């Protein structure tokens, strides 16, 4: 399993993803809106095999349109050295 972490406009980031949309990326929010998923939906068109995860400050993990929304605290607590970052959410 491999993971690609994408951040808007950061060095080493997939340049296609960094160019998507004209509005800036909002800070992590506790409330998700349909527009928050639009960049990942566009990314999925080019990379349909990708496992898509959206981190947010809420408390509930859920799946919407094939995108896994994960509370950032849960994600950070699941990190284990030597293990892929998404292993807790996508076991093989």
pLDDT in tens, 45-74: 999 999 999 999 999 999 999 999 999 999
Please report, for the chain, the start and end positions of each structural domain, with discontinuous segments joined by +.
1-92
Q: Are 40 and 24 in contact (CB under 8 A)?
A: no
pLDDT in tens, 71-88: 999 999 999 999 999 999
Return all residues near 36 (Cβ < 8 A) that are at least 6 apart: 26, 29, 54, 56
Length of the chain as a residue count:
92
Would the pTM of this model clear 0.85, i.e. be above it?
A: no
Whole-Å CA distances, 55 to 29, 35, 72, 75, 83 = 9, 14, 5, 8, 19
């Amino acid at each position: 399993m491999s993971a690609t972490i994408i951040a808007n406009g950061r060095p080493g980031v997939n340049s296609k993803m960094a160019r998507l949309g004209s509005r800036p990326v909002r800070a992590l929010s506790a409330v998700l809106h349909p527009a928050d998923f639009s960049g990942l939906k566009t990314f999925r068109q080019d990379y349909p095999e990708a496992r898509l995860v959206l981190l947010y400050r809420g408390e509930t993990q859920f799946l919407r349109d094939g995108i896994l929304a994960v509370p950032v605290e849960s994600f950070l607590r699941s990190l284990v050295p030597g293990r892929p970052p998404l292993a807790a959410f996508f076991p093989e």
